Structure 1
């Protein structure tokens, strides 16, 4: 029976993802996000009214067909958009995945920490990949269009207190997020966290500009450049002083 509680609003599904968590993964991109990040390469996931409805059990069965490919490390990652906008419905979905012995992961901007989110995080999410947008309030507002970067850091504090695994993600934009000062600030803030297994650095690219154009939206980072190899290596070296593992995607 189809009810609002057992439906997820999905933008797209990737069957054999290798960049959204450990191992081979089924990656479900949910529709809808409250942020409008300047570098978003999937701006078509932002509108909460788009997407396609999927019954939770249909998604579980789809994951079960892939289970043999997951191996010991793989599983299901829910990304977006912002998946925690649908946290209430993710609870029964992740609960079913856990019943089937499938590893669960959430890729989130950490802007929500309400009761459904806390239940999901504490009981059903094996891993959280947390996107750190910027280390200053001014920079956060410029990139996301929203205020209050502290919500993401409060989310990280909750995850750390739970003792459950977390990865960080950070987009490197020359002169905007990729400066030595900001990288040291990032490292200093998280250096004592015990739950962080690694930080993933996402080199800035412009692969999503055509999607912004198709939506009739202005892409504000047209003048931003991509990182040089040396800049990526220097960022990795700085953060290696603070994190167990630094990975450049």
Structure 2
């Protein structure tokens, strides 16, 4: 069986998909988002190597808590960097009626279709909807995440969209309306959630000896985020 590099496991998470879920934070990410709060997940060679069979044993123990809506979520890092592992894990979960959720920025490579066939829900982290701004914010290639999104469209897998609102970067009404137009063109979106930028991960950069790109950016106002949440929902309705 496949073995994966796991940063950490949250036994019963409440914010990474519907219901109560066991959340696997996988090691490795090809993006360097300016507001990333998990820089300790960047390197693929970190974390603990765990086999699918061992994880399934853990999930069986937690399964009574999942109820009708909970299950397992693979997050990161970027779980698509370990796509063979996640695909095998989700395949085993489906055999035992455990709901599967993929929390991703869509930045990986591999057989997306095989993975999406055993994925019940995708939490898709939209970094930016414009290619040039996407690269400036993440250091990544917008075409890579677009390819993944096209695979999700083809598979018709249900999507929850998430987007981090950062002061002076992604918090303008014009940006939110543009994001709404981008989302409106995606047919299988079930939910859209704006997340306020926070600074809780800054200490990790200090410990790692890495400069934090947004050290002068304050946390996003939660009340303004609520106003923008209403704006985007109005723009896609």
TM-score clears 0.5: yes
Which structure 2 residues correspond to residues 141-160 of structure 1 after superposition, within 5 A?
141-146=135-140, 148-160=141-153
> Structure 1: how far apart are the matches of 2:211 and 2:35?
11
1:231 to 2:227 alignment? no
Alignment match, 1:61: 57
In the other structure, the counterpart of 2:132 is 138
Q: Secondary structure at the match of 1:186?
A: helix
Structure 2 Cα separation of the partners of residues 239 and 55 of structure 1: 41
Q: TM-score when scaled to structure 1?
A: 0.91
TM-score (norm 2): 0.95
| Residues 135 and 182 in structure 1, CA contact (< 8 A), matched pair in contact too | no
Structure 2: distance between partners of 1:220 and 1:226: 14
Which consecutive unaligned segments of at least 5 residues does structure 1 have?
Answer: 245-249
Deviation (angstroms), 1:113: 4.8
2:171 to 178, 182, 192: 178
Measured in 2, the distance between the counterparts of 1:99 and 1:177 equals 41
User: Equivalent residue of 1:64, what SS?
Assistant: helix
User: Which segment drifts farther, 180-189 or 96-105?
Assistant: 180-189
Alignment partners' CA distance in 1, 2:99 and 2:163: 23
Give CA deviations for 1:185-216 in whole Å, capped at 9, x if unaligned.
Answer: 11112214331110121110000001011111
Q: Secondary structure at the match of 2:234?
A: coil
2:2–2:51 Cα contact (<8 Å) kept:
yes
Gaps (5+ residues) in structure 2?
Answer: none
